[in-house]
């Protein structure tokens, strides 16, 4: 998956501009940068989630399997099935654990031989099965925050995506639950391409193969702050040998 000259607008306001990025298959890419530099905005443009935001518009191309996901005739629902998203706050449906997983395959009309097997497979991949296998019919709200987030990851996996987008998936979790999600991400990258927005630089350094650092530049006339990609590379290079002074200032805590 890649972005070519991507700009994202909210009405007349250009939130992000000129982004060119290649997301490596079966790699984890972290998007980092100070608040308001457009990380979440860019992430949402990668699976047409911004379509659901009034006034949002994407210019440029977001290529997935060589095809622009914004091309006329592309079904955004299918895009979001193949490029799933996990949000900051765990958001299980007010349903049983089982039905949270079965919901996506049902509504997308997936051909499923055994829903029980699919639910077990998704929960196993999300490393939650052992904790919930005896209470599948109980409400998802009875789970801890960390378990709920793994349930949301299982729910994303259940519709068999190729890519998983994660928008600060650990920011509402305690350190132990965070560690479990990070471990889980390492497992998942064997099967999926992952893009994660994180505020936590240590987390980016721990989990990501590649890191993209963004900052916001203020327009001299209007004062509008627009996000730009400053530097993109292997995570070790970004953290140990940044090429741009702004990256160095940010990762060393001098700015942002
Ligand atoms: N739905 C929206 N409507 C209008 N403007 C928005 C909307 N969402 C975000 N913005 C604006 O777009 C810019 C980028 O926001 P975004 O949330 O993408 O940044 P971010 O880097 O993810 O920030 P944070 O790290 O604080 O979450 C900000 O100026 C924000 O106010």
- Model pLDDT for residues 213-235, shown as the tens digit of each residue: 999 999 888 889 999 999 999 99
Q: How far is the CA of 229 from the centre of ligand 1 (A)?
A: 15
Q: For ligand 1, say whether the CB of 10 is within 6 Å of any of its atoms.
A: yes
The alpha carbon of 40 and the centre of ligand 1 are apart by a number of angstroms equal to 7
- What is the rounded CA–CA span in Å between residue 155 and residue 175? 23
Q: Could you tell me the distance, in angstroms and rounded to a whole number, from the CA of residue 226 to the centre of ligand 1? A: 10
Residue percentage of the chain with pLDDT more than 90: 92
pLDDT in tens, 192-219: 999 999 999 999 999 999 999 999 999 8
The answer, yes or no, to whether residue 256 has pLDDT greater than 60, is no
Domain boundaries, the chain: 2-251
Give residue-wise pLDDT tens across range 31-73: 999 999 999 999 999 999 999 999 999 999 999 999 999 999 9
What is the complex's ipTM, to 2 decimals?
A: 0.97
Dist CA 150 CA 86 (whole Å): 10
Supply the Cα-derived Rg of the chain in whole angstroms. 18
* Average of per-residue pLDDT values in the chain: 95
Closest of 64, 12, 53 to residue 221, by C-alpha: 12
Residues 153, 164 contacting (CB under 8 angstroms): yes
For residue 129, give both structure tokens. Answer: 């099965």
Strand partners, 6: 19
Asked whether 35 lines ligand 1 (CB < 6 A), one says yes
Task: Give the distance from CA 19 to its chain's centroid.
Answer: 17
Domain 2-251 grouped into CATH 3.40.50.300: yes
- Strand, coil or helix: what is 63? strand
In three state form, how does the secondary structure of 71-110 look?
CCCCCHHHHHHHEEEECCCCCCCCCEHHHHHHHHHHHCCC
Closest by CA to 213, choosing from 203, 201, 223, is 201
Q: Can you give the pTM of this predicted structure?
A: 0.95
- pLDDT for 253 equals 82
A 10 A CB-CB count for 193 gives 21
Mean pLDDT in residue range 188-194:
95
**What does the alpha-carbon distance between residue 187 and residue 127 come to, in Å, rounded to a whole number?**
9
From atom 6 of ligand 1, which residue's Cα is the shortest distance away?
10
Name the token pair of 31. Answer: 């998007």
């Amino acid at each position: 998956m890649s972005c070519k000259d991507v700009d994202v607008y909210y009405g007349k306001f250009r939130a992000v501009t000129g982004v060119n990025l290649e997301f490596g298959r079966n790699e984890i890419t972290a998007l980092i940068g100070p608040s308001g530099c457009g990380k979440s905005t860019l992430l949402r443009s990668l699976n047409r989630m911004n379509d659901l935001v009034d006034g949002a518009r994407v210019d440029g191309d977001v290529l997935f399997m060589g095809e622009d996901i914004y091309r006329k005739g592309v079904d955004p629902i299918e895009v979001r099935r193949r490029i799933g998203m996990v949000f900051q706050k765990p958001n299980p449906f007010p349903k049983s654990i089982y039905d949270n997983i079965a919901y996506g395959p049902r509504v997308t009309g997936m051909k499923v031989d055994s829903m029980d097997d699919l639910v077990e497979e998704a929960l196993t991949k999300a490393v939650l099965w052992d904790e919930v296998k005896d209470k599948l019919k109980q409400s998802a709200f009875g789970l801890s925050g960390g378990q709920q987030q793994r349930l949301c990851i299982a729910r994303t996996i259940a519709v068999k995506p190729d890519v998983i987008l994660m928008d600060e998936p650990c920011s509402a979790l305690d350190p132990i639950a965070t560690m479990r999600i990070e471990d889980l991400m390492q497992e998942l990258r064997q099967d999926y391409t992952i893009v994660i927005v994180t505020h936590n630089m240590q987390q980016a350094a721990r989990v990501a193969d590649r890191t993209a650092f963004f900052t916001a530049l203020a327009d001299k006339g209007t004062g509008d702050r627009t996000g730009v990609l400053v530097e993109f590379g292997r995570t070790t290079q970004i953290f140990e040998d940044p090429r741009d002074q702004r990256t160095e200032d940010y990762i060393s805590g001098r700015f942002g």
